[in-house]
Amino acid sequence: MSGDDYGSTTRLTSPEERRRVEADLEQARERAAAEEATRQRVETQRQTLEAQRLSMRPLGERLLDSRCTACHALNVLDHNVKSPLAWRWTVERMRWWHGAQLSTEEVRQVSAHLTLARAGGLGWVDAGIVIGLLAVPGCGGLGWMGYRRKRSLRKESI
């Protein structure tokens, strides 16, 4: 194959036709540039509106997005329903043991947001605490009373 096989078979017959084609190409370039400028302007407006929308969210939600997503996706929270105390303990655990970069005030903000967004009733953690607080003194008291009773029964039998 020769180089002529790749060339166009049409030839511009006159200089005027050549100028017309060049003018059409220039208009197409100008339209493309105008469309690109419009697209960039729309994209800039979209980004500005998105930044405004994000800045209007509650502080707890913004902290959750910025700090918690450093380690895991937020979809891990989708099925979690906890009480306020359980959310506070969860966020504190992330801070103390897993190194989440949160101040004490930010922990409070994130915990409050999670409580409002995904609040439950008495969570299993809280139920365990309540049962533990009620059971330990009760069992200790019952144990002490049982020990004293056995001791007094031994004395009576002697």
Q: What is the CATH number of the domain that holds 92?
A: 1.10.760.10
Give yes or no: residues 100 and 147 share one domain: no
Asked if 63 and 116 sit in the same domain, the reply is yes
**pTM metric for this prediction:** 0.47
72-130 tens-digit pLDDT: 888 888 778 888 888 899 899 989 998 888 999 999 999 888 888 876 655 555 556 66
Report how far Cα 33 is from the mean position of its chain's Cα atoms. Answer: 38
**Domain that residue 77 falls in:** 58-121
What pLDDT was estimated at residue 74? 80
Torsion angle of the four alpha carbons 111, 116, 117, 122, in this order, in degrees rounded to the nearest 10: 80
| Residue 5 domain flag | no
Instruction: Give yes or no for residue 142 having a pLDDT over 70.
Output: no
